[in-house]
Amino acid sequence: MITLAAASQKGGVAKTTTNLAIGAKLAQDGARVLYIDLDPQMNLSTTLKAQTAGVASSLDVLTGDAAIADAAQHIDGYAVVPASRLNGKADDLMPSVGKDYRLRKALETVADQYDYAILDTPPALGTLTVNALTAADWVVIPAQADAYSLDGVTDLAATIQAIREYTNPNLNIGGILLTRYNPRTSISKIIHEDAEAMAQELGTKVFRAWIPEATVVKESQAVKQSLFDYAPTSKAAYHYRFFIEELMEDVDAVAGGKAKEVGSNG
């Protein structure tokens, strides 16, 4: 199982939208997809039509009160572990021993049941995001095309570097994904240059794909449909497909390299 997360400490950068799109495209291609919603806002859970009241949640998984296999709801060809409003108090509710590794250990129990796990994190660099990055093989950094959003990338970069040093040395940075981007504007060109400089410092890239501002994205979430089902020929769907194909080229290349290493050692 390959674990992916789109993460940002800034709200409104299309983090959840990006996670939804990645999982939807992979499921559409026939993969077994597990979503884990860690955000107390529960936007991913509600968009995926998951029950959120009176059910086991990602918080229960983190506290050890539920296993992922028991908390996962199977809906429309994918599985989702919903968030709880109490996720915001996870730092106080989780046992202190092994706190940063709890999601990683929980995912190990279902590694043979899914091809991909998609982790949706809150817009904060706390325990929930640290758990996600400790569990993830890949992280994508969505950044809205404005200066304040890029400031958030700098803070997330410091967290990623600490994660690599202390809890997950194998974390790959897929790249910076520019969202709500209009290449015709002067500010977008400036932001793109700044993002390229940040990517170089992180040892990653700015995706060639970029995501435009699009009403159909909000509409698809309102009617609780995948963007690829609701508006498959829209510009937003086209750009997200381009991005996901670009991301998966790197994911598959690294996975293939590891497979060769295992084969050579056998």
Domains in the chain, please, with CATH? 2-265 (3.40.50.300)
Reported pTM:
0.90
Q: Which of 24-28, 68-72, 96-100, 137-141 has the lowest mean pLDDT?
A: 96-100
pLDDT band at 258 (very low <50, low <70, confident <90, very high): low
DSSP secondary structure string for all residues of the chain: -EEEEE--SSSSSSHHHHHHHHHHHHHHTT--EEEEE--TT-HHHHHTT---SSS--HHHHHHTSS-HHHH-EEETTEEEE---GGGGGHHHHS-STTGGGHHHHHHHTTTTT-SEEEEE--SS-SHHHHHHHHH-SEEEEEEESSHHHHHHHHHHHHHHHHHHHHT-TT-EEEEEEEES--TTSHHHHHHHHHHHHHHHHHT--B-S--B---HHHHHHHHTT--HHHH-TTSHHHHHHHHHHHHHHHHHHHHHHHHHHHHHHH-
pLDDT band at 263 (very low <50, low <70, confident <90, very high): very low
What are the tens digits of pLDDT across the range 51-72?
999 999 999 999 999 999 999 9
